[in-house]
Amino acid sequence: MLSRASAVASCVSFAALLLAGQAAALELPLPPEGEDVVGQIQVVKAKYEDTFAALGETHDLGYLELVAANPGVDPWLPGEGTDIILPTRYILPPGPREGIVINLPEYRLYYYPKGEDVVHTFPLGIGREGWGSPVGNTRITAMISDPAWYPPQSIRDEHAADGDPLPKVVPPGADNPLGPYKMSLALPGYLIHGSNKKFGIGMRVSHGCFRMLNHNVLELARLVKVGTSVRIIDEPYKFGTSQGKIYLEAHTPLQDEDNHMTLMDKHAVVVNTLLKRDESAGVLQLDWEMVREIIAGEDGLPIQIAEQGQALASHEEQIF
């Protein structure tokens, strides 16, 4: 099988022929039953004034996913004419395809409208170190346009300690960190909301809430309603099938920033993730060398690791 670098180059080359210059679509058709991969990787030429933050806002991508997909490219000065990979191909998160699904290590939200064969996907800012976003099942309990912000005492204390005291109420407007819209969750204190800062979407920046680009949060608000289910997961490694092939998509585990997971630790997580899937029952032969490269690369791109219909190898022996 191809090396990881060759596999990525092959996908990018194909996508560039078909999609160069097109903006990323927020709405993607769902794949046939039993398949998991949506979208296509795209390539654009950077302009002189481009930054990854600006490209992310234009193409509905997060900052860190652009950095991961474009190793070696300066995110603040890519350089005019530089090819920029837009990682707009995704393995859908595991579990039911209903309501809202947030995958924390991916910094991304998926929404499945009931009765429609499409998925909408948006980048997110999530909770930073010490203020981690929760994992679990919840729902939207309220939706408010042009919200005021009532900073919790813990956040007011933090700002006061930094010499930046906050008022008890921040009214709607350009200085409001909730942006033009907020959706309250049944988890007390947690919101999905816009932002008064363009930078930070697709990063660990919040006090646990989920930040969106303002045009994205307004679009999501038009699609969902009070009662919409929200499932928050922590899945850095996603397996999926498409047209008889098995793919792996790897993101940096959130705990790696704090606990410094070794490559062996990450291999173990991948094996455990695989064992949860039907493929582990003896229907595929994985290219473990490719798997190791994908885990080390953590570029967030779905890369083929096997063909369906082959016998399963001894993964414990081959991956370590």
Q: Which residue has the higher pLDDT, 56 or 274?
A: 56
Q: What percent of the chain has pLDDT above 90?
A: 57
Query: Is 193 annotated in the active site?
Result: yes
Distances (CA, A) of 195 to 177, 192, 202, 223, 260: 5, 10, 12, 19, 30
Q: Are residues 86 and 146 in the same domain?
A: no
pLDDT at 260 over 80: no
Closest by Cα among 276, 271, 277 to 319: 271
pLDDT tens for each residue of 20-33: 444 445 899 999 99
pTM (two decimals): 0.86
pLDDT tens for each residue of 162-199: 777 777 787 888 888 899 999 999 999 899 999 988 77
Q: Looking at 211, 233, 255, which one is the last position of a domain? A: 233
Distances (CA, A) of 62 to 76, 107, 212, 248: 14, 7, 10, 20
Strand partners, 120: 27, 111
Spot the catalytic one: 209, 251, 267, 315.
209
| Count of structural domains within the chain | 3
Residue 12 pLDDT: 59
Q: Taking a C-beta distance cutoff of 8 angstroms, is the pair 89, 65 a contact? A: no
Query: Is 11 annotated in the active site?
Result: no
Q: What is the distance between the alpha carbons of residues 133 and 231, in angstroms, rounded to a whole number?
A: 12
How many CA atoms are closer than 13 Å to the CA of 246, on its beta-carbon side?
22
Class of residue 39 by CB neighbours under 10 A (exposed 0-12, middle 13-18, buried 19+): buried
Q: What is the distance between the alpha carbons of residues 256 and 240, in angstroms, rounded to a whole number?
A: 23
Q: Are residues 120 and 242 in the same domain?
A: no
Q: Are residues 241 and 304 in the same domain?
A: yes
Q: Are residues 65 and 168 in the same domain?
A: no
Q: Are residues 214 and 133 in the same domain?
A: yes
Residue 60 belongs to domain spanning: 4-91
Spot the catalytic one: 59, 120, 193, 251.
193
pLDDT at 313 over 50: no
Position 167, amino acid? P
Q: Looking at 233, 258, 285, which one is the last position of a domain? A: 233
pLDDT at 17 over 70: no
Q: Are residues 251 and 225 in the same domain?
A: no
pLDDT tens for each residue of 228-247: 999 999 999 999 999 999 99
Number of H helices, E strands in the chain: 9, 18
Class of residue 215 by CB neighbours under 10 A (exposed 0-12, middle 13-18, buried 19+): middle
Q: Are residues 106 and 228 in the same domain?
A: yes
Q: Are residues 14 and 52 in the same domain?
A: yes
